[in-house]
Amino acid sequence: MSLDLNVTQADKPAKTLPDAQTVTAVRHWTDRLFSFRVTRPASLRFRSGEFVMIGLPDDNGKPILRAYSIASPNWDDELEFYSIKVPDGPLTSKLQHIKAGDQIILRPKPVGTLVLDALLPGKRLWFLATGTGIAPFASLMRDPESYERFDQIIMLHTCRLGAELEYGRELVADLRHDPLLTELYGEGFANRLLYYPTTTRESSPQMGRITDNLLSGKVFEDLGVPAMNPAEDRAMVCGSLEFNIDAKKVLEGFGLAEGANSAPREFVVEKAFVG
């Protein structure tokens, strides 16, 4: 599909809409999940973990926009996004068909609560994600500033099926040999990024909901880290509304309190894009 975002009139030269960006790559991970990369507006500055509005024009040319976390780190020349495909979703039913060379609409106004500035200094930074909620952490995991601020980054990701973990699995495997991070932090860097993927509806080496595995202490035991405590641990949460509510309760149970950009504390929460 090639989208025509050009305004062409007989008496005027072709003019591209101001917020159009070009798709550079698309990868389908499962029949429900895909990621894509687009050109980055020269003026766009963002903090890793933030989101922007992206979309496509509808049949009448009116934009259909949704919030998407930027999955690429802020040093990247391009922008990456990770999306679910909802068959009857107003945007994703169309967006899932994009290919390199197509154009999408991107409003260059990044915002969001999953930013390092919203957390007090600490020792370990936990990322808690379900499904496509891993997207903002794909950005933060690749940002050297995360490793400047914390000794360890711990990525907990839960999906129903093993194949749905693949995007995160590949990202972490690549990161452990990342030339920039290895140059900055040495070979020992790989030990500073812990990864704990689990499934809930298909058998895999580690199973169970993040909330249950934290409450039972299984995560701490398996990873060899102390139980979460407000003196050392900071966390960011991104998933469905229900997951966010339950994860917040679990974190509060460990004595952590929710913060914001204007009032940094021990954890922050944001809802993943759905639909």
Binding interface with ligand A2P (CB under 6 A): 130-131, 158-160, 200-201, 209-211, 240, 242-243, 246
Tokens of 255: 């004595």
Amino acid at site 220: F
Q: What are phi and psi of 62, to 5 degrees?
A: -85, 135
Q: How far is the CB of 143 from ligand A2P (least distance, A)?
A: 25
Q: How far is the CB of 102 from ligand A2P (least distance, A)?
A: 27
Q: How far is the CB of 163 from ligand A2P (least distance, A)?
A: 13
Q: How far is the CB of 181 from ligand A2P (least distance, A)?
A: 28
Tokens of 92: 């994703």
Specify the residue, 105 or 269, whose C-beta has the smaller distance to ligand A2P: 269
Q: Could you say which DSSP state residue 226 is in?
A: P
Specify the residue, 32 or 192, whose C-beta has the smaller distance to ligand A2P: 32
Q: How far is the CB of 106 from ligand A2P (least distance, A)?
A: 25
How would you write 212-247 as a 3-class SS string? HHHHCCHHHHHHCCCCCCCCCEEEEEEECHHHHHHH
Q: How far is the CB of 204 from ligand A2P (least distance, A)?
A: 11
Specify the residue, 105 or 155, whose C-beta has the smaller distance to ligand A2P: 155
Specify the residue, 123 or 160, whose C-beta has the smaller distance to ligand A2P: 160
Q: What are phi and psi of 102, to 5 degrees?
A: -70, 165
Residue 175, Cβ density class (10 Å: 0-12 exposed, 13-18 middle, ≥19 buried): buried
C-alpha 85, offset from chain centre: 16
Tokens of 239: 């998933």
Within 58-134, residue ranges assigned H as helices are: 92-95
Specify the residue, 101 or 275, whose C-beta has the smaller distance to ligand A2P: 275
Residue 101: left if φ>0, alpha if ψ -120 to 50, beta else—which one? left
Specify the residue, 149 or 169, whose C-beta has the smaller distance to ligand A2P: 169
Amino acid at site 200: T
